[in-house]
């Protein structure tokens, strides 16, 4: 099953970005890059070293406090098939860290996206910036894309203080 950002029109992409602008007041352009990267490719990139990835999750889990008022998940793809899961909320819901890991690990291999697909998504984002629909400077979007070359950046320092998430899970549509 292929999941992730679908390129139907720019309005769906802008709606996804608006969700993040609403939830997090400090979203910078590099955060949009990471959002779109994850929305296309999912989380497989995080599993280059499985043991380290699992150890990081457990370490983060041990350091966080449960928080029932935060959203459990936030979409990173316009079709809702890829979400970021809030670890603090998982803890508040009584979800075990082993269950989070198992779901993350199983879902990380479900994306079959290509660089061309990411390029199309970023071009659509650039167009939204150019048309002043997205609140970012088109030239900055262009430079970031040229510089990043499919490297996954970390979140901006300002955004990092807004949330403590995130393990990306792919969700199957009901009936599939």
pLDDT tens sequence across 48-62: 888 998 998 898 899
**Does 160 have pLDDT greater than 90?**
no
* Residue 172: predicted pLDDT: 42
Q: At what angle do helices 138-148 and 115-130 cross, to 10 degrees?
A: 160
pLDDT greater at residue 94 or residue 142: 94
Residue 168 · residue 85 · CB < 8 Å: yes
C-alpha torsion 120→124→129→133, nearest 10: -170
Beta-bridge mates of residue 121: none
12-62 tens-digit pLDDT: 999 999 999 998 878 888 889 888 888 888 877 777 888 998 998 898 899
């Amino acid at each position: 099953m292929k999941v992730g950002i679908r390129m139907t029109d720019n309005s769906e992409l802008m709606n996804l970005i608006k969700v993040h602008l609403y939830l997090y007041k400090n979203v910078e352009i590099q955060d949009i890059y990471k959002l779109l990267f994850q929305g296309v490719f999912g989380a497989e990139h995080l599993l280059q070293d499985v043991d380290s990835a699992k150890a990081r999750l457990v370490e983060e889990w041990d350091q966080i406090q449960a928080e029932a008022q935060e959203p459990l998940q936030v979409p990173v793809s316009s079709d809702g098939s890829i979400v970021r899961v809030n670890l603090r909320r998982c803890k508040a819901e009584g979800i075990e860290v082993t269950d989070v890991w198992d779901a993350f690990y199983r879902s990380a291999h479900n994306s079959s996206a290509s660089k061309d697909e990411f390029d199309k998504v970023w071009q659509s984002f650039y167009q939204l910036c150019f048309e002043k629909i997205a609140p970012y400077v088109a030239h900055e979007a262009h430079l970031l894309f040229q510089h990043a070359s499919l490297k996954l950046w970390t979140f901006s320092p300002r955004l990092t203080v807004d949330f403590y998430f995130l393990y990306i899970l792919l969700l199957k549509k009901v009936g599939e």
